[in-house]
Chain A
């Protein structure tokens, strides 16, 4: 099928990097809004990552990863061009519904900036007027601005410190766009749960349909474990097979955030043990 070879890598900052992985079949099948599950090595865990891009001609997919804990930091250290992932499966999840919306805001913040890109591009290709709203902590962390400019009719950058674009959160950008355009059909937001919650609250008073992409803890990604269950209105759904996109006005974000902490004590122990072993190996002069 494929040996999951990493063919390109770029580092956007000290915590964010992208990997381009060869998988021609997946590049053909991938659609915006879908994700993959990766195991870096045989003893690794299965972690979900959004398909941030795919190139059908080159037969590659692109992942953008934020190094936050043991697995992602280890990937940051080990995933060099020419190395291979142990496992890569997907595309998973129901593709985003790129409907007949004529004017959309695509919002990405934190690790959601890359995953919103395929959606913005798909909306552009479907003929919509696309407003991109991207949030970064500061100017130095901005990436893919050119890619977004190529598919957005307007691009609003938001930084925490005001070093680029407007100073403030992405919800500021949404508010500006809504007041400038009375005819927004849909908002799509990807990022940390707290950000998506903010976006949903920002659009609720206007009754603008707001889709969010949920990121609960996953194991299989095939509907088999139920670990990824989320509350959508009155019902419980499995994000990996019933989503990951849901109506942001129905999502119980507090439940999602609480569930994301399910394994935090163990994750913390894993990170500390790994850092300790890195330090020892480093100290031994290897």
Chain B
């Protein structure tokens, strides 16, 4: 038997990800990170120490058997690795790309104590992409029962719940308001980070499980949750409608032309293909000098999209410092490489318009970090006399979202103080048989957390329906 690996014997350097060069990639929407080749994956798999205590598994919100799947990669048993991952995670090619690994699995990897951690996400993506390319699906034998299950919203939470309930033998229909399924994965996250073709491939697998997708269906308004549980004959319903409703700051000038939310900007560009105007009809009207407020993933996406549709200068305005920026480390790194101008510790106070009611500048003030606030982060406080202007013809707000009000308006669902759907620990809502999870319960979170919630709700739903888990 081979000698046990130690931190000294493994490849010391993390296997680099093949990437498009910054000056090229800002001219296209192809993926920035091109994915590990076979030899990259095999080399990186050698770096896992197969730790007995498996800290990485606890770092993953859904507890993927990480050393287990990496071992299979090292053995060149890729289908085996796929089986291990999909035992817990339905969307490896998605999560491998977009999980904030540095604060989840990789953040606690033993190798990371001395060297760069094992590239768990990249390996996971390698397997997910291989499964798509090879057409692996792992269709289980499904014993049909008589239950009809409805899923509202086709983002990661809804997809995960739908898959588990279909595997349990239920007849599952997913209702989506947009004309295409996928949620934020489709309308929000741009192709250069997560191609829509990858999302479509994952949705195709759900279709193969027998799941039906009904798009153009606004639940609550076309029919209510109560109607679903009553006359429409659903035995149980899962609500995964996301958070949605974007926030603004309430500063003067927010209604000027050229000022929009990141959701509007990204939806026009991604889902509606505004970047291919006039082949597609949705107007995008990109700015030349774009200022984006916020420093989360959404802000990074908004800025990098702006670059790719022709902006000459893109500025990130964030009231805290780089250390507090909530985006994935890789996104900030990529944004920096692409030439985004970061104005840390800066807060907008007013947007200034021209005669045509279009934005022409943003007045800002500098901030400094004061005492820690409720979130434990040091609270930014304005520096007196520090006001200055950034010239810009487009401003994007990427400062978070609130709960979407539609299901609250149209059903008896109990909501929490902030308007999100209230659930108990099992993700059951106040209506019997109706479960909820993802951003609409927790507020904006991550893809893998939403997916995990969908699966957790499925477990509770099975118990409610008296099905074996």
User: Chain A interface (Cβ within 8 Å of chain B)?
Assistant: 1, 25-26, 29, 34, 39, 43-46, 70-71, 86-92, 94, 219-227, 229, 231, 236, 238, 241-242, 255, 258-259, 261-263, 265-267, 269-270, 273-274
Contact = CB atoms under 8 A, between A and B. Distances in A.
Contacts of A94: 409
A45 B272 contact: yes
B30 interface: no
5 contacts: A43-B281, A45-B281, A46-B282, A86-B179, A92-B218
Nearest to B280: A43
B216 interface: yes
A29 B284 contact: no
Given A29-B221, A89-B217, A241-B405, A224 B244 contact: yes
Interface string B270-281: 001100011111
Interface string B171-205: 00000011100000000000000000000000000
Nearest to A95: B221
A225 B264 contact: yes
B249 to A, nearest CB: 11
Interface of B: 177-179, 214-218, 221-223, 242, 244-246, 248, 250, 254-255, 257-258, 260-261, 263-264, 267-268, 272-273, 277-285, 356-357, 397, 404-406, 409
Given A71-B281, A219-B267, 20 more contacts: A25-B222, A26-B222, A39-B179, A43-B273, A43-B280, A70-B281, A91-B222, A92-B221, A223-B245, A223-B405, A223-B406, A225-B261, A225-B263, A225-B264, A241-B404, A255-B255, A262-B258, A263-B285, A267-B283, A273-B278
Contacts of A274: 278
Interface of B is mostly: loop
B263 A226 contact: yes
Given A29-B223, A258-B255, A259-B257, A222 B283 contact: no
Contact of A90 (B218, B267, B277, B278): B218
Contacts of A226: 245-246, 248, 260-261, 263-264, 397
Contacts of B222: 25-26, 29, 89-91
A3 B356 CA distance: 42
Nearest to A93: B221
Of listed B216, B258, B278, residue having the most chain A CB within 10 A: B216
Contact of B272 (A46, A89, A255, A267): A46
Contacts of B284: 266
A199 B285 CA distance: 33
Contact of B283 (A88, A229, A263): A263
B406 A222 contact: yes
A226 B279 CA distance: 25
A1 B222 CA distance: 11
A87 B216 contact: yes
A57 to B, nearest CB: 18
Nearest to A40: B281
A63 B242 CA distance: 30
